[in-house]
Amino acid sequence: MKSETSLLSEPRNRKLLLSAGFSWLFDAMDVGLVSFIAAALSVDWNLNAQQIGLLAAINSTGMAFGAAVSGSLADRYGRKAVLLWTLLLFSVASGLSALAPNLLVLSILRFVAGFGLGGELPVASTLVSESVPVNVRGKAIVLLESFWAGGWILAALISYFFIPHYGWRMALVIGALPAVYALFLRQAIEDSPRYKEQAERTRLGFRERMASIWSGRYQRATLTLWILWFTVVFSYYGMFLWLPTVMVMKGFTLVKSFQYVLIITLAQLPGYFTAAYLIEKIGRKAVLGVYLLMTAACAIWFGNAVTAGMLLTAGMFLSFFNLGAWGAMYAYTPEVYPTNVRSTGVGFAAAFGRIGGIIGPYLVGLLIDKGTSITSVFIVFFVAIVIGALTVMIFGRETKGIDPDRL
């Protein structure tokens, strides 16, 4: 039997991983740019904390709708077609955002960009998950998710070098470049053999697919995934979209804030790589449980940090464990459902999670405007992450090495 490394290094698998991975990278770059631009907008447009939170929440609202709609469409029309259209949609909307004259227009465009971005992520993970061998499936998805760190690093570099000199609009213009990549992606990827085989036999209607993921067979798994996604997305977007702004609130300049967030973001990469290694060794549930509980501990640590050194150290560990957990969650979710309802199940779990992404950043703005301390805000995220960890550890089913089409 071939080793995991050799299987992932096969040209077909490597091409798929890199092709989908770069689309993932551009998604992350767009989300990262929003967090950095929010800090710049608070100065340029004199926005208060609640307005910044509202902008982030609107972006997440678009992602919620995009995940649900695109996940369902991908089971009906194929993974490739939906992946391409969602990439194109978010790229164009991101570029047009650079022309926004006010917060209202920017918010509308960010909703559209979020719709495309939220739709692309679950479809890409589904495509890769069902296209690679079972024994490297989890590792492949975590490596796919590691491109997210690359996108955030790219966003941090763009923000650090462009925003102070050329303004936030130029950063959003760069966010339109993935539209060109869509032309390459059209030739580089194909629908998975599993999907093609299933589509030739039968295609379930939307109601049948929804009934299936909530049937007695999958009800517990679906409920577990929805709670997991909600708590992880709620905490991630609440913490990380506010990271540059929190740095400014703690007394650092805008440029220094961008520099620190770039350093913190670099810690995401080893978080992904360790999770990719461990997920095929000790299983999905163990990785999720450990990484989420460590994320919760680091949230408390970061919320109480006062010195620059402590902020950087706590922030790096927060990035390490939180993004490792994200990789494990994306690997775990598609493995729960069979091919004919997989994208729908993944899409709606992600969509419910995005509701947390709507509430998280807006809640932070609301609490800060009311004078709540940063420490108290991060306690809220601590509680949420612990709930997610315990839910998957107690009620989740281990999927390592299991083919859901044969259950």
pLDDT in tens, 163-189: 778 888 888 888 787 777 776 777 778
The helix, strand and coil proportions of the chain, stated in percent and rounded to the nearest 5, come to 85, 0, 15
Q: What is the chain's mean pLDDT, rounded?
A: 85
CB atoms within 10 A of CB 277: 14
Cα 155 to the center of its chain, rounded Å: 15
In order of their start, the domains of the chain are 13-185+211-400 (1.20.1250.20)
pLDDT of 326 strictly over 80: yes
Q: How confident is the model at residue 154 (pLDDT cuts 50, 70, 90)?
A: confident
Q: What's the confidence (pLDDT) of residue 200?
A: 64
User: Residues of the chain with pLDDT > 90: what percent?
Assistant: 32
pLDDT of 233 strictly over 60: yes
pLDDT in tens, 55-90: 877 888 898 999 999 988 998 888 888 988 888 888
Q: How confident is the model at residue 250 (pLDDT cuts 50, 70, 90)?
A: confident
More confident residue, 288 or 407: 288
pLDDT of 4 strictly over 60: no
Residue by residue, DSSP assigns 98-121 as TT--SHHHHHHHHHHHHHHHHHHH
pLDDT of 9 strictly over 70: no
Q: Give the 3-state secondary structure of residue 248.
A: helix
More confident residue, 111 or 249: 111
> Backbone phi, then psi, for 101, in 5-degree steps?
-85, -15
Closest CA to 241 of 356, 404, 101, 73: 356
Cα–Cα distances (Å) from 70 to 83, 118, 123, 344, 405, in that order, read 8, 8, 7, 8, 22
Q: What's the confidence (pLDDT) of residue 304?
A: 87
Give the residue-averaged pLDDT of 358-385: 88
Out of 12-26, 173-187, 293-307, the most confident range is 293-307
pLDDT of 211 strictly over 90: yes
pTM over the 0.95 mark? no
